[in-house]
Structure 1
């Protein structure tokens, strides 16, 4: 026992005197009353901050008029939560009609847009948050758009997929969603100047990267082409990557000023605006790395190590995925899920990459995938002494014969027969992504970004080994 423990123990063993006992009772009573008063005050503050006003926003505002009108709070799932790094720490208050009315004058922010399929968009937002870290800015994250499932499907907020409060806590920094800054139903058009990265790094399209998000957010953007020196591999037409620090330089006054060229005219208000200094924005941040192209494939990736691994799933989404795994494996809803190997086989949209090679020869056979599963099982046993016998596979394959062969291997798969009807078009891919990340080990499809990021998650969250199955020619994964 250490000396301090002994000292306190000795004091506690002395019987209290009657006077001390009465004094202690009075102290406890006073402290209890004070605690009740403070608690009521905090509750009042919380209710006043999160209550929903009844004032309705106008459908549109004429240009030039005041746009600081009070608006309703967002829906319940977007309610502002009082937390150390929550919106209240870096915004004036509830979402406003114009985003500028909600920004604090002494805080700098950063944002960007997406347009490349859901997994690639996740990677883009990882890059955005990492760029925010190294430029000391607050990231404002837009929604996910349905570029992989069809434009008729509504976007889904970032916070309905990822646990934003947990992300803030793990980063130790504020992270905002656009719905927390500007009211989702606002039709007020904000003018904004942004950097045009896309035109500086590729030679096919003479315009900024297109995305529906600025329209969704009612933004009228005037783009300034970024300098050509941001390109990672100069004059190389087959790669579009830039480095984090080349973009970060544009966030600081000296390089920003030296890099200004005449901006493009904004499409709605016909403005010519330089890149905004308070809300720094770039048109596209998917092709960004620290050292080499596509480095999220590698375990050293700083964007993954300092941001991606902290982007855990929204708890409700994770709970939903758990129920799919339990039903697939055949365990009761209240029973623990046994450890399993997760698999992602990507086929459908990779067919065009096969060229003249027949599909049956192009895609890896199940025997090759099974061999990789065996390797992962063996590695888990050697490192952790754990036998993992369950295998859960996710895939976009539609061939019934192929799925019958999967079943013959004794593998399980989530049943998405009613998923869209019950939860919406987003949820088959979201549930599959959660399941892939839960494996004690993971086997994926080479060149698939969904497999790449699933491998990173299983590695970071489950300490799980992974393998990527090669494909494209007969015997591509033979080894």
Structure 2
């Protein structure tokens, strides 16, 4: 008598079949994601290849690639194959006799289908790009007053910053990341002079250095600059900062901003060059202790937590009134840790003498450098840094910067290469930080000899050869050292350097560009040796790792056998 109960073998067979059916369904679903169904033809081969398989896409995402970026790469690959197939099928048809048979009719029909699919794909991509078009988040072209150009149903975020170029970059990238957490549109100011650059150098627009269109496509949100929002003055010389309160020609617009300064600081970061360039008359309110990395009430705590700050400024009104009495009737700058930390301190009135509560439509901060997800302090140092993974690594250099950098690389390696090839050979970049670092070891001088950097260069060279099969002959060194003896030692090692004096970089492009070009050149390296605790070195290391799959090392300028 036969039992209706399935045997172990039949149950196993059924399970395997169900598993295979599920895998097939996933592959089929992913293959046709976002597109009309492809009709498999006995004449036209399938376009699904191993590079488009679900397993490889998952592997790409697991390796750290942005999921949206993987999807876009897949779509571009599919579009390319469609074009190739159209040409191939067209060639086959053209080679056939004039009498059109059934197979030829199928091919002609399939070419028409492919062309229609290609047109649909182009239209889809055009529509998709409009989602983060600047025009969707502004009322029109740059206006005289920024408020005239902000949409009522859209919320915005901006910040100022201080210090050198790299620290300003990090502060602005932190701000963009915060905007992604709060559904706000970031408005990026230009780089402005601080202690590394003279005020006469003027400002440099962020979008002149970095490709914001690429970043917008990766984040799928519009990323604005202040020059998109309002009419700005010249970017060079003393004319860069004309805005002052009540000026008939360049009047500053009042706004209330947050300050992230620690409680023991009695004034905000005024960032005078930035606010006078973009034309805002800002007053400041200190962020509450609830946003700090450590919420113990320590008045010297300067780090801010992204999640706590995001909760404070998420795109909803923070205040119903801008009166001081509603904001900080009795704020204690050094609160008892056991008490509530929700009261806000008026930190500074504006240059024109007003104080407004923090603006909820265009939320602004005096500085966004000291920020963390809550896992670590100085989080940019780590590979897991959410800011770098989400925003920073997608900020590639602009087309203008690529062209400028290529010019310098061609000259550099045209001299060094025997075959005269203009193709950039693999090289190791070295950054030796001197300047202010010399004074950070008390009575000792923090200046490791070049031999210490040379040891690390040898390690990087060996690892590139052993693990990646890359043989590197060239080493390019960048430094703020001014000693002629130092640069003589560099040449004696056979290392290269960019001669900004010979290139007339300052005269051609301005005071900002010698260090900016050095940074851009470093991003082409397959290996990098930097100075530990230098943000200049740290960001270049991250680019070499993530952009080029390179190998990096650091030299500790404060400790080491060389000090003995």
**Same fold, judged at TM 0.5 (above):** yes
Partners of 2:392 and 2:219 in 1: CA distance:
10
* Aligned ranges 1:25-36 → 2 under 5 Å: none
Contact 1:113-1:211 at 8 Å conserved across structures: yes
How much does 1:189 deviate? 2.2
Find 2:403's aligned residue among 319, 332, 337: 319
Aligned length: 417
Describe the shift of the 1:378–1:5 C-alpha distance in structure 2 as closer, same or farther (beyond 3 A): farther
Task: Specify the structure having the higher radius of gyration (Cα).
Answer: 2
Residue of structure 1 equivalent to 2:180: 133
* Aligned ranges 1:41-440 → 2 under 5 Å: 84-147=131-194, 148-185=196-233, 187-198=250-261, 201-203=262-264, 205-212=265-272, 213-233=274-294, 234-236=296-298, 239-252=301-314, 256=318, 259=342, 261=344, 263=346, 266-290=349-373, 291-329=375-413, 330=415, 331=417, 335-357=422-444, 359=445, 362-417=446-501, 418-440=504-526
Partners of 1:230 and 1:85 in 2: CA distance:
30
Partners of 2:404 and 2:523 in 1: CA distance:
14
Describe the shift of the 1:7–1:444 C-alpha distance in structure 2 as closer, same or farther (beyond 3 A): same
Partners of 2:172 and 2:316 in 1: CA distance:
26
Partners of 1:437 and 1:475 in 2: CA distance:
30
Partners of 2:230 and 2:480 in 1: CA distance:
36
Where do 5+ consecutive residues of structure 1 fail to align?
36-81
> Could you say what secondary structure the match of 2:500 adopts?
coil
Partners of 2:563 and 2:217 in 1: CA distance:
41
Describe the shift of the 1:146–1:264 C-alpha distance in structure 2 as closer, same or farther (beyond 3 A): closer
Contact 2:456-2:553 at 8 Å conserved across structures: yes
> Could you say what secondary structure the match of 2:290 adopts?
helix
* Runs of 4+ deviating beyond 6 Å: 9-14
Partners of 1:239 and 1:384 in 2: CA distance:
44
How much does 1:168 deviate? 1.1
Partners of 1:86 and 1:152 in 2: CA distance:
34
Describe the shift of the 1:3–1:285 C-alpha distance in structure 2 as closer, same or farther (beyond 3 A): closer
1:467 aligns with 2:553: yes
Deviations 1:363-411 (A, max 9, x none): 1111110111111112212221111121111111111111111112111
Contact 1:220-1:266 at 8 Å conserved across structures: no
Residue of structure 1 equivalent to 2:13: none
How much does 1:278 deviate? 1.1
How much does 1:137 deviate? 0.8
> Could you say what secondary structure the match of 2:199 adopts?
coil
TM-score by length of 1: 0.80
> Could you say what secondary structure the match of 2:430 adopts?
strand
> Could you say what secondary structure the match of 1:466 adopts?
strand
Partners of 1:88 and 1:309 in 2: CA distance:
25
Partners of 2:146 and 2:176 in 1: CA distance:
19
1:4 aligns with 2:4: no
Partners of 1:350 and 1:237 in 2: CA distance:
27
CA RMSD of aligned residues (A): 3.2
How much does 1:142 deviate? 0.3
Contact 2:285-2:348 at 8 Å conserved across structures: no
Partners of 2:563 and 2:391 in 1: CA distance:
32
How much does 1:456 deviate? 0.8
Contact 1:109-1:279 at 8 Å conserved across structures: yes
Contact 1:470-1:477 at 8 Å conserved across structures: no
How much does 1:106 deviate? 1.2
How much does 1:269 deviate? 4.3
Moved more, 214-223 or 429-438: 214-223
How much does 1:83 deviate? 5.7
Partners of 1:477 and 1:455 in 2: CA distance:
25
Partners of 1:155 and 1:8 in 2: CA distance:
57
Describe the shift of the 1:202–1:476 C-alpha distance in structure 2 as closer, same or farther (beyond 3 A): farther
Describe the shift of the 1:269–1:239 C-alpha distance in structure 2 as closer, same or farther (beyond 3 A): closer
Deviations 1:49-92 (A, max 9, x none): xxxxxxxxxxxxxxxxxxxxxxxxxxxxxxxxx96523112111
How much does 1:419 deviate? 1.2
Deviations 1:23-51 (A, max 9, x none): x9xxx9xx9xxx9xxxxxxxxxxxxxxxx
